[in-house]
Amino acid sequence: MRGMTKPGQIVNVMKEERCFPPPAEFAAKARVGSLAEYEALWNEANHDLEGFWGKAAHELHWFKPYTKVLEWNEPFAQWFVDGQTNVSYNCLDAHLSSPRRNKPALIWVGEPGDVRIYTYQMLHREVCKFANVLKGQGIEKGDVVALYMPMVPELAIAMLACARIGAIHSVVFGGFAAEAIAERNRNAGAKLMITADGGWRRGRQIALKANVDAALAKSPTVQKCIVCRRTGSQVAMQPGRDLWWDELMEQAPADCPAVPLDSETPLFILYTSGSTGKPKGILHTTAGYNLFAKKTMEWVFDIRDEDAYWCTADIGWITGHTYVVYGPLTAGATSFMYEGAPDWPHRGRWWEMVEKHRITILYTAPTAIRACIQWGDQWVDKYDLSSLRLLGSVGEGINPEAWMWYHRKIGRERCPIVDTWWQTETGGIMMTPLPGAIATKPGSCTKPLPGIVPQVVGKDHQPVSAGAGGWLTIARPWPGMLRGIWGDDARYKLQYWSQVPHKYLCGDNARCDEDGYYWIMGRIDDVLNVAGHRLSTIEIESALVSHPAVAEAAAVGRPHEVKGESVAVFVTLSSGFEPTEALRQELKGHVRKEIGALAVPDDIHFTVALPKTRSGKIMRRLLRDIAAGRETAGDTSTLEDHSVLARLRAEEE
C-alpha cells in the first residue's frame, strides 16, 4: 500500500473479504443462471459487438428494418441505421396482442393514500388520448415539451405521449426553483410546458404551478402550459396560455397510431448539473436507448410476469426515466410508483407498502438505505417483507456496512442485491452482478454487463495494475450511450472524449480487483492527496460507517501546510449516540484500525444532516468549501435543503 504507484493510480486502503454466492433457488429460475452463462454472453458481445446487439434488437418492433447496427464516428454513434421504431409502441402496443393487455402496467400510490392502477390496455388508451392533446396544441415531431410534475401517473403518460408522436421531452425534477426551470426551458427551446396545481410532500402541498408561472416569465419559447389537477389547490390560470389537463382529455379521441421514427430520433433531454457552469442537457435517442433499457431491465432484475417491481427514484432523474417508465414497460413488467417521502406519515411507510402491495423487487439509493438505518430497525421489523426476492442499489457507491444491513434486515439474507453502477450519460446500467450468476461482494458493482468494456487507467492513459485505483473509462460504444450535449457538441467532446484517447471518460475513479470485480471509489475530483498518497473518499467513509455510532459520513480534503491535503470528515450519528470528544477519538482509532494511519481524519465534524442533491447524492464540493473556510462557489440549485448548508456553517463558527 505504501509503495510506488503509477501516475494517476489511487491507493486502495479498503479490504472486503465477504462474498455471497447467488442463492441456488434463485439461480435455478434466473434468466442468466450461472457464471458460465454470464461469461458466454459477455464473450459473445466482446467478440462480435454488432452481431450481439443486432440479434438483441429483433426483440423490438420495427416499422422499417435497420440496415446497419452501428455507425461509429468517434465520438458520435448511430445505432440501427435506417431503422424505424417507436418507444411508445414498444412500451404499450407490443403487449396488447398478448395476455399482458389486462396486466397492471402501473400501480400508483399517492402520499395521502390514494391508489390508481393502469393495465397495459388502459395506459395505452390514456397515452393515445394525451398524444392527441399534444397534437391539438400544435406539438409536432422534434418539438421540445418540458414537464415539471409530481410523481403521478400523468407524468409517465405525458412522456409516452411525447414519444408516440416524436416530440422530445425534457423532464425537470419537481423540486427545482423557477430560475432552474427557466434556464432549462431556454436551453432546450421548449414549446409547451406540462405541470400540476401542486404535489404532496411530507403532508404539505408543493406549489408547482406558482414556480412554473415565475419560470414562464423567463421562458420566451413556451407558448402553452397544460395543468394537471393533483391537490385541488387554487392556482392562477393565464387565459390563452394555461389549459387544464382533464378538460383537454375529455375532448381527445382515444386513437393515435404510433409514428414510425428513425432510430436516432431524439427521445429526451435530461439536464445534469455540473459543479460550476450551466447544466448540461444530456441527449438520448430512440432505438438504442429503448433496447438498452429493455435488456438491462431483463438481465439485472431477472424480471418475470408475476413481479411487482418498485424503483423508488423520482422520474425527474435518469433512474426514473429508464427503470420506472421505459425499461419496465418495454419488458412488460408491473411498475410501482409512489408519490411521497419515505418517512411520511411515519418512518415505516415504504415497508408498509412492500407488505400491502407484495412488492417482489425493490431498487433504491444508498442514501435512503442509510436513512432507514439511522431511523432504527423497529420501523422495518413491524412489517412482513417476505414477498421480496431481489434488492437493488443505485445512485452512488454503497458502503459495505449499509449493504450488509440491506442484506440482513430487508432481504432477510435470502435476496440477492444488485449494486448497480451507471450514469445519466450511459442511459442504463453498465456494471452490476447478475443476480442468478455472479457472487456479490458488499460495496462492489462486480462485473460489466454484456457489451460493456470498462478499463481503469492512470493519468498516463495506461491500464493500472489489479487492485490499484484510477480513472474509469469505457472502451467501446453501447446502444444506450448519450448522443451528445444538447446544442453543444464541443462541450460533449471536451468533457467525455478529450482526456483519454478513444475512450469515454466516466468521471469516476474505480479499481478492479484480482477477481475482475469493479469498485467505484468516488468522483475524480473527490480524490484526496495526503502526503503524496491518493486516497478515495468512499473508502474512508465506508470505514466510518462500519462503526455502530455512524449513520452517514462524507470525507473531503482541506489544505494542509505539510501534507498538502488533510482528511476532514462530516459525520451524522445513529440514533442513541451523542457527539462527544471521546467518540471523535474513538472514530479516529476505528479508521486507523480498519484502513491504516494514512487515512485517519485530522478533523471530524458532527452534524445533524449532510448537504445533498434532490436525488440523494452528498454535495462534497460544498463540504470542501466549509472545511477550508471558503465561501460557497458554483451552482447550488440542486441542493435539496439550503438550511443544511446554513447549519453546517453555523456549527463551524
pLDDT at 636 over 90: no
Query: 61-299: what CATH class?
Result: alpha beta
Q: Per residue in 478-488, pLDDT tens?
A: 999 999 999 99
**pLDDT tier at 240, thresholds 50, 70, 90:** very high
Alpha helices in 423-565 (DSSP H): 489-497, 537-545
pLDDT digits (tens, 9 = 90+) for 60-90: 999 999 999 999 999 999 999 999 999 999 9
498 CB contacts (<8 Å, ≥6 apart)? Answer: none
Residue of 518, 445, 429 whose CA lies nearest to 479: 429
- The reported pLDDT for the residue numbered 562 is 65
pLDDT of 98 > 90? The answer is yes
Q: How many residues can be counted in the chain?
A: 653
Supply the pLDDT for residue 646.
Answer: 76
Q: Given a cut of 50, is residue 1 above it in pLDDT?
A: no
Task: Give the chain's largest Cα–Cα span.
Answer: 73
Helix (H) or strand (E) holding 631: none
pLDDT digits (tens, 9 = 90+) for 165-174: 999 999 999 8
Cβ atoms of 605 and 240 within 8 Å: the answer is no
Q: What is the DSSP letter of 151?
A: S
Does 276 score more than 60 pLDDT?
Answer: no
pLDDT of residue 637: 62
More confident residue, 15 or 162: 162
Structure-block grid coordinates of residue 36: 458460465
**Strand, helix or coil at 157?**
helix
**Cell numbers placing 205:** 402541498
pLDDT reading at 3 higher than 50: no
Q: Is the peptide bond before 345 cis (omega within 30 degrees of 0)?
A: yes
Measure Cα distances from 456 to 464, 481, 507, 509 in Å: 6, 19, 11, 8
Alpha helix locations (H) across 498-641? 537-545, 581-595, 620-628
In what helix (H) or strand (E) does residue 473 lie, and over which residues does it extend? strand 469-474
Pairing of strands 533-535, 550-560: unpaired
Q: pLDDT tens digit string along 173-220?
A: 988 888 889 999 999 999 999 999 999 999 999 999 999 999 999 999
Other Cβ atoms closer than 10 A to 34: 16
CA dihedral 448, 449, 451, 454 (to 10 degrees): -10
Q: What is the pLDDT of residue 615?
A: 64
Whole-angstrom CA distances from 322 to 86, 222, 295, 388, 614 are: 15, 26, 11, 21, 18
Average pLDDT over residues 462-478: 95
Average pLDDT over residues 601-621: 83
- Indicate the pairing of strand 168-171 with strand 144-148: parallel
- pLDDT mean over 507-516: 94
What is the dihedral angle through the alpha carbons of 302, 303, 307, 313, rounded to the nearest 10 degrees? 100
Contact in structure between 302 and 271 (CB atoms under 8 Å): no
Q: What is the pLDDT of residues 517-544, one digit of tens each?
A: 999 988 887 667 665 566 767 778 888 9
DSSP string computed for 381-449: HTS--TT--EEEE-SSPPPHHHHHHIIIIISTTTS-EEE-B--TTTSS--B---TTT--B-TT--BSBP
The chain-wide mean pLDDT, for the chain, equals: 92
Distance separating alpha carbons of residues 282 and 394, to the nearest angstrom: 19
Give the other-Cβ count within 10 Å of 405's Cβ: 19
Full-model pTM: 0.86
Under 8 Å between Cβ of 279 and 184 = yes
**CA-to-CA distance for 280 and 269, rounded, in angstroms?**
9
What does the domain layout of the chain look like in residue ranges? 61-299, 528-652
- DSSP 8-state code for residue 601: -
Q: Would you place residue 273 in the very low, low, confident or very high pLDDT band (cuts 50, 70, 90)?
A: low
Q: Give the integer Cα–Cα distance in Å for 454 and 449.
A: 10
In 3-state terms, what secondary structure has residue 133? helix
**Phi-psi group of 349: left, alpha or beta (phi > 0 → left; psi -120 to 50 → alpha; rest → beta):** alpha
> What tens digit of pLDDT does each residue of 388-438 get?
999 999 988 888 989 999 999 999 999 999 999 999 999 999 999 999 999
- Under the banding of pLDDT at 50, 70 and 90, the label for residue 592 is confident
User: How far apart are alpha carbons 521 and 537 in whole angstroms?
Assistant: 7
pLDDT at 543: 85
Q: Is 26 exposed, middle or buried (0-12, 13-18, 19+ CB in 10 A)?
A: middle
In this prediction, residue 4 has a pLDDT band, given cuts at 50, 70 and 90, of very low
Q: Are 546 and 399 in contact, with CB atoms under 8 Å apart?
A: yes
Distance, CA of 463 to chain centre: 28
Q: What's the Rg (C-alpha) of the chain? A: 24
Q: What is the pLDDT of residue 8?
A: 57
> Rounded to an integer, what distance in angstroms lies between the CA atom of residue 74 and that of residue 80?
16
What pLDDT does 579 receive? Answer: 94
551, 402 Cβ separation under 8 angstroms: no
* Helices 35-47 + 49-56 axis angle, to 10: 110
Give 613's pLDDT tier (boundaries 50, 70, 90): confident
DSSP class of 197: S
For the chain, count helices (H), then strands (E).
21, 30
Q: Are 179 and 185 in contact (CB under 8 A)?
A: no
What is residue 379's three-state secondary structure? helix
CA triplet 419, 425, 431: central angle to 5 degrees? 25
- In this structure, what are the phi and psi dihedrals at residue 330, rounded to the nearest 5 degrees? -65, -35
Where does 528-652 sit in CATH, by number?
3.30.300.30
pLDDT at 275: 44
Q: If we measure between CA atoms, which residue out of 300, 329, 319, 326 comes closest to residue 366?
A: 319
pLDDT of residue 631 exceeding 80, the answer is: no
pLDDT at 640 > cutoff 70: no
CA distance 275 to 619: 9
> Given the C-alpha cell 400501480, which residue does it identify?
107
